[in-house]
C-alpha cells in the first residue's frame, strides 16, 4: 500500500513534465506485460482500473461467439435485402510477413461475405511484401492490390487503396491489426437498421504478439466535444464511399492524425444523426511490434497533426477564434481555448444561502475578488438567514454595486429559489452556484462563459473537487441509482479517468447545478426548473434533459475547477419527510424520463449502471443483432450541431 501511494504521488509530479513522463510511460508499457507489473501499474493508475486478467474473463463471458451465434449470424445475413458491399482499405509498408498475413486472414475469416480488401503497398523496399500481396490476390479474387512506385506515407497510400474500392462503404484497417470475425456483419446489421448512416465506428482493444487482448476502449455515442480532445472514432471506422469521394479522400499533411481529420470533416458534412456507434469490440489494435509507431518523434508528429486538424475544423465551423493546445503528457490530448465575446456578456451569478457564513463568505469573496471575469453581478438568494453575523455581512456586501440581496424566506425549494432569482437577473448568462463552492483559480468563470455563449451549447458544467482534492463532479451519468450519479466520484484529483475523460472537455447528458452556466434565453426556452415536483433533488438533471430535448448540447469542462463542500450548508436529508420527498422526486424523474435515464448515450450499454467509473457490466445491456430484432434506444431530438 505504501509503495502504491508513493508511486501514485510520484506519477502526479511526473505527468507535469512531458520529457520525463514519456520514458516512464514506455517503461510502464513493458512491465505491464508481466503479471506483477500489470497489477502494480493498474493500482497506480487508479482504483477502478480493470486488469487484463479481468478483461479476459469478461471476453470469455460476453465477447466470444458460439457455434449457435455463428449460425444465427449466417441466417441473418441471408435474410438481408440488398446487403451492402464493404471495401476494407489497408495501406501497407514493409510489413513483416506474419503480421500482414494475419491481418489479411482476419478479413478473409469474416462471417459477412460481401466484402473486398484493397491493399496499397507504399513503395516498400525490396519485393518481399509485394510478392506476398500478389500471392494473396492470386488466390482470392476479393483481394485487390496496387504497388506505389515510391513511399508517400500513410495518407497517400490509403488514398491509393481507396482508388481500388468499389464497395458502398469503406472500412479502414492498418496493415498489422486484426478484425473480429463478426466485424463486417455488425456494420451490415447497423446499416440495415439505420440505412441513412454515413459514418459508423466500433469499440476496440489492443492485442499483443501472443494474441492476448487488453485495454478495451468501450466508446460513447457520438461526442462532438470529446472529438476535439481525442480521436474517439479511431478503429473500426466505416464511411459511405460516396461521402469519402465528396470529401476528396484523406488529406496529405495530416499524417498521424489523417483519420482524426477525416472524421471531423465528415461530421461537419453529415451531422450527428447520420453517425452510429457499434458497442462491440470489432477491432484488435497491435500495440507491440508496430513498425516505428511509438517513437517519440512520431508521437510528436501525430500530436501536431491532430492539433492542426482540430484547429482547421474549428475555423470551418466559424470558431476560428479558438486556440488549440497539446496537453502535456504521453497521451497527447488536446485542449481548445475559446475567446470570449467582446464586450463580455454580463453574467448573473446566483447563490442561494441560509446563514452558514463560514461557507458563504468564502464563496462570495471568490466570486467578487478571486475571479478574473469582470462583467458579473452576484445575486444572493437569502432563504431566511437569521444569524446577525450573516445579516451584517449581507449589508456590507451591498456596498459593492455588483451585489444584490434577494430575500426569499420559507421552506427550502431550490427550484423555486432559482426560478425567482433568474426572473430578477440582468445578465445574458445565468450561472447557478452553491454557497459551499470555493475557487481554485481565477479563470473558472471565463472558461464556463466561453462554452455557454456557443449557439449549440445549452449548459456548461465545471470540474468540482472535494476539499481533499478528490473528484466530486465530472459530469452526470444517467441511470445510476435509478436516476443519476456523478461520474468518477471519489477518484484521485490527478487521475486522468477512463480514456482520459477527466482531462478532456466532453458532451454529457447533465451537469450539476452546484456550478452550471447557461444563456438566459435557453433557460426561458425550456421553462427553468420544476418547482412543484422537483423541489430539492434532480432539478438540475431534469433541467439539462429539457435542454437536450430542445436540441442543445451539454458540455462539461475540466478547465473550470472549483472546490465543492457538498451539502455542507444543508446537511443530509435523513428525516422521514425528506426521505418521502426524495422518493417522490425519483418517481417523477422515472415517469418523465424513464427510457432516457436507462440509455445514457454518453455511458453506453457495456457499462454497469450501478457504478460511475466505466466498469464493464456483468450483463451488458446491448442486444446482439443476430438474436432478435433490435429496437433502437430512445434518443432526445437534436436540432443543433
Mark whether 109 and 33 lie in a shared domain.
no
Mark whether 40 and 99 lie in a shared domain.
no
Mark whether 266 and 398 lie in a shared domain.
no
Global confidence as pTM: 0.88
The answer to whether residue 565 sits within a structural domain is yes
Q: CA of 222: how far to CAs of 185, 201, 601, in Å?
A: 21, 9, 8
The answer to whether residue 232 sits within a structural domain is yes
What is the total count of domains within the chain? 3
Mark whether 250 and 395 lie in a shared domain.
no
Is residue 256 within 8 A of residue 305, CB to CB? The reply is: yes
Q: What are the residues whose beta carbons fall under 8 Å from the beta carbon of 185, sequence distance 6 or more?
A: 73, 76, 77, 110, 111, 112, 626
Q: What are the residues whose beta carbons fall under 8 Å from the beta carbon of 139, sequence distance 6 or more?
A: none
The percent of residues in the chain predicted with pLDDT above 90, rounded, is: 78
Position 522 pLDDT exceeds 70: yes
Cis geometry, peptide bond prior to residue 236 (ω within 30 degrees of 0): yes
Position 292 pLDDT exceeds 60: no
**CB atoms near residue 587 (< 10 Å):** 13
Indicate the range of 45-49, 247-251, 439-443, 458-462 predicted with least confidence.
Answer: 45-49
CA distance 152 to 326: 26
Transcribe 62-108 into DSSP letters: HS---HHHHHHHHHHHHH-SSPPPEEEEEEESS--HHHHHHHHHHHH
Indicate the range of 46-55, 424-433, 442-451, 621-630 predicted with least confidence.
Answer: 46-55
Q: Which of 269, 300, 316 represents a domain boundary (last residue)?
A: 316
The answer to whether residue 73 sits within a structural domain is yes
Average pLDDT of the residues in 369-396: 96
Burial (Cβ within 10 Å: 0-12, 13-18, ≥19) of residue 417: buried
CA distance 24 to 490: 26
Position 22 pLDDT exceeds 80: no
CA distance 306 to 258: 8
Indicate the range of 163-177, 256-270, 554-568, 571-585 predicted with least confidence.
Answer: 571-585
Grid cell for residue 318: 466559424
Beta-bridge partner residues of 592 = none
Mark whether 554 and 443 lie in a shared domain.
yes
Q: Which domain holds residue 407?
A: 347-597
pLDDT tens readout for residues 161-188 = 999 999 999 999 999 999 999 999 999 9
Mark whether 381 and 473 lie in a shared domain.
yes
pLDDT value, residue 21: 46
Position 599 pLDDT exceeds 60: yes
pLDDT tens readout for residues 106-130 = 999 999 999 999 999 999 999 999 9
CA distance 430 to 520: 6
In sequence order, which ranges of 327-407 are alpha helices (DSSP H)? Answer: 357-369, 388-397
User: Which SS3 state, helix, strand or coil, does residue 419 take?
Assistant: helix
The answer to whether residue 620 sits within a structural domain is no
The answer to whether residue 329 sits within a structural domain is no
Grid cell for residue 87: 471495401
The percent of residues in the chain predicted with pLDDT above 70, rounded, is: 86
Nearest to 107 by CA among 120, 117, 119: 117
The answer to whether residue 332 sits within a structural domain is no
The answer to whether residue 123 sits within a structural domain is yes
The answer to whether residue 373 sits within a structural domain is yes
pLDDT value, residue 5: 47
Is residue 286 within 8 A of residue 176, CB to CB? The reply is: yes
Q: What is residue 257's DSSP assignment?
A: S
pLDDT value, residue 466: 94
Residue 481: which pLDDT band, with cuts at 50, 70 and 90? Answer: confident
Mark whether 504 and 417 lie in a shared domain.
yes
Position 13 pLDDT exceeds 90: no
pLDDT value, residue 399: 96
pLDDT value, residue 359: 92
pLDDT value, residue 628: 66
Give the CATH number for residue 586.
3.90.550.60
Indicate the range of 128-142, 353-367, 574-588 predicted with least confidence.
Answer: 574-588
CA distance 596 to 636: 8
pLDDT value, residue 32: 42
Indicate the range of 65-79, 237-251, 573-587 predicted with least confidence.
Answer: 573-587
pLDDT value, residue 567: 55
CA distance 622 to 560: 34
pLDDT value, residue 638: 52
Average pLDDT of the residues in 51-64: 90
Q: Which of 316, 338, 370 represents a domain boundary (last residue)?
A: 316
Mark whether 35 and 68 lie in a shared domain.
no
Is residue 154 within 8 A of residue 255, CB to CB? The reply is: yes
Position 425 pLDDT exceeds 80: yes
CA distance 109 to 268: 34
Give the CATH number for residue 72.
3.90.550.10
Mark whether 39 and 132 lie in a shared domain.
no
pLDDT value, residue 291: 45
Indicate the range of 233-242, 509-518, 551-560, 562-571 predicted with least confidence.
Answer: 562-571
What is the residue-averaged pLDDT of the chain?
89
pLDDT value, residue 636: 52
Transcribe 462-515 into DSSP letters: EEEE-TTS-EEES-EEETGGGTEEETTTT--TT---GGGTTTS-EE-SB--TTE
Return the ∠ at Cα 503 (arms to 607 and 172), rounded to 5°.
65
Mark whether 404 and 472 lie in a shared domain.
yes
pLDDT tens readout for residues 273-287 = 999 999 999 999 997
Average pLDDT of the residues in 37-46: 48
Q: What are the residues whose beta carbons fall under 8 Å from the beta carbon of 414, sequence distance 6 or more?
A: 352, 513, 529, 535, 536, 539
Mark whether 510 and 412 lie in a shared domain.
yes
pLDDT tens readout for residues 214-223 = 999 999 999 9
Mark whether 391 and 249 lie in a shared domain.
no
pLDDT value, residue 318: 84
Position 250 pLDDT exceeds 90: yes
pLDDT value, residue 482: 86
Q: Which of 561, 581, 597 represents a domain boundary (last residue)?
A: 597
Amino acid at each position: 500500500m505504501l509503495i502504491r501511494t508513493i508511486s501514485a504521488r510520484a506519477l502526479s509530479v511526473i505527468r507535469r513534465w512531458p520529457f520525463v513522463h514519456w520514458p516512464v510511460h514506455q517503461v510502464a508499457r513493458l512491465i505491464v506485460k508481466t503479471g506483477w507489473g500489470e497489477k502494480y501499474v493498474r493500482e497506480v493508475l487508479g482504483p477502478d482500473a480493470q486488469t487484463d486478467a479481468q478483461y479476459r474473463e469478461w471476453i470469455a463471458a460476453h465477447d466470444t461467439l458460439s457455434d449457435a451465434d455463428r449460425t444465427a449470424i449466417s441466417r441473418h445475413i441471408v435474410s438481408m435485402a440488398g446487403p451492402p458491399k464493404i471495401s476494407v482499405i489497408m495501406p501497407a509498408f514493409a510489413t513483416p510477413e506474419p503480421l500482414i498475413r494475419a491481418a489479411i486472414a482476419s478479413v478473409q475469416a469474416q462471417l459477412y461475405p460481401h466484402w473486398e480488401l484493397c491493399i496499397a503497398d507504399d513503395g516498400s523496399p525490396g519485393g518481399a511484401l509485394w510478392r506476398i500481396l500478389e500471392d494473396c490476390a492470386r488466390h482470392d479474387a476479393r483481394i485487390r492490390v496496387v504497388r506505389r512506385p515510391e513511399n508517400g506515407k500513410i495518407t497517400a497510400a490509403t488514398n491509393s487503396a481507396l482508388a481500388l474500392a468499389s464497395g458502398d462503404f469503406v472500412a479502414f484497417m492498418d496493415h498489422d491489426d486484426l478484425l473480429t470475425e463478426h466485424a463486417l456483419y455488425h456494420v451490415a446489421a447497423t446499416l440495415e437498421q439505420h440505412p441513412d448512416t454515413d459514418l459508423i465506428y466500433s469499440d476496440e482493444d489492443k492485442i499483443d504478439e501472443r494474441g492476448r487482448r487488453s485495454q478495451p476502449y468501450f466508446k460513447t455515442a457520438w461526442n462532438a466535444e470529446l472529438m476535439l480532445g481525442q480521436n474517439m472514432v479511431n478503429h473500426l471506422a466505416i464511411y459511405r464511399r460516396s461521402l469519402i469521394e465528396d470529401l476528396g479522400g484523406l488529406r496529405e499533411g495530416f499524417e498521424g492524425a489523417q483519420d482524426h481529420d477525416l472524421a471531423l470533416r465528415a461530421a461537419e458534412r453529415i451531422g450527428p444523426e447520420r453517425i452510429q456507434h457499434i458497442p462491440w469490440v470489432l477491432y484488435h489494435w497491435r500495440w507491440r511490434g508496430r513498425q516505428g509507431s511509438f517513437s517519440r518523434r512520431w508521437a510528436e508528429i501525430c500530436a501536431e497533426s491532430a492539433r492542426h486538424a482540430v484547429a482547421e475544423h474549428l475555423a470551418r465551423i466559424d470558431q476560428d477564434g479558438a486556440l488549440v493546445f497539446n496537453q502535456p503528457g504521453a497521451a497527447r490530448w488536446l485542449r481548445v481555448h475559446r475567446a470570449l465575446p467582446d464586450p463580455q456578456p454580463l453574467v448573473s451569478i446566483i447563490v442561494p444561502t441560509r446563514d452558514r457564513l463560514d461557507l458563504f463568505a468564502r464563496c462570495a469573496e471568490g466570486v467578487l475578488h478571486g475571479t478574473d471575469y469582470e462583467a458579473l453581478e452576484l445575486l444572493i438568494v437569502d432563504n431566511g438567514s437569521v444569524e446577525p453575523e450573516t445579516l451584517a455581512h449581507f449589508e456590507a456586501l451591498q456596498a459593492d454595486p455588483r451585489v444584490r440581496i434577494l430575500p426569499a424566506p420559507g421552506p427550502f425549494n431550490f427550484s423555486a429559489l432559482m426560478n425567482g432569482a433568474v426572473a430578477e437577473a440582468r445578465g445574458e448568462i445565468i450561472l447557478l452556484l452553491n454557497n459551499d463552492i470555493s475557487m481554485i483559480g481565477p479563470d473558472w468563470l471565463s472558461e464556463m462563459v466561453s462554452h455557454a455563449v456557443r449557439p449549440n451549447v445549452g449548459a456548461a458544467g465545471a470540474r468540482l473537487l472535494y476539499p481533499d482534492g478528490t473528484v466530486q463532479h465530472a459530469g452526470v451519468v444517467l441511470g445510476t441509482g435509478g436516476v443519476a450519479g456523478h461520474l468518477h466520484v471519489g477518484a484521485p484529483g490527478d487521475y486522468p479517468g477512463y480514456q482520459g475523460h477527466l482531462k478532456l472537455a466532453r458532451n454529457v447528458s447533465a451537469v450539476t447545478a452546484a456550478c452550471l452556466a447557461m444563456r438566459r434565453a435557453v433557460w426561458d426556452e425550456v421553462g427553468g426548473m420544476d418547482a412543484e415536483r422537483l423541489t430539492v433533488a434532480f432539478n438540475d438533471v431534469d433541467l439539462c434533459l429539457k435542454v437536450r430535448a430542445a436540441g442543445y448540447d451539454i458540455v462539461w469542462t475540466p478547465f473550470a475547477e472549483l472546490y465543492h463542500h457538498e451539502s455542507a450548508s444543508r446537511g443530509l436529508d435523513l428525516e422521514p419527510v425528506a426521505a418521502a420527498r426524495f422518493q417522490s422526486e425519483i418517481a417523477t424523474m422515472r415517469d418523465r424520463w424513464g427510457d432516457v435515464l436507462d440509455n445514457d448515450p454518453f455511458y453506453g450499454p457495456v457499462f454497469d449502471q450501478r457504478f460511475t467509473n466505466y466498469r464493464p457490466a456483468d450483463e451488458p445491456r446491448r442486444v446482439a443483432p443476430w438474436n432478435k430484432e433490435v429496437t433502437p434506444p430512445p434518443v432526445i431530438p437534436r436540432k443543433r450541431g
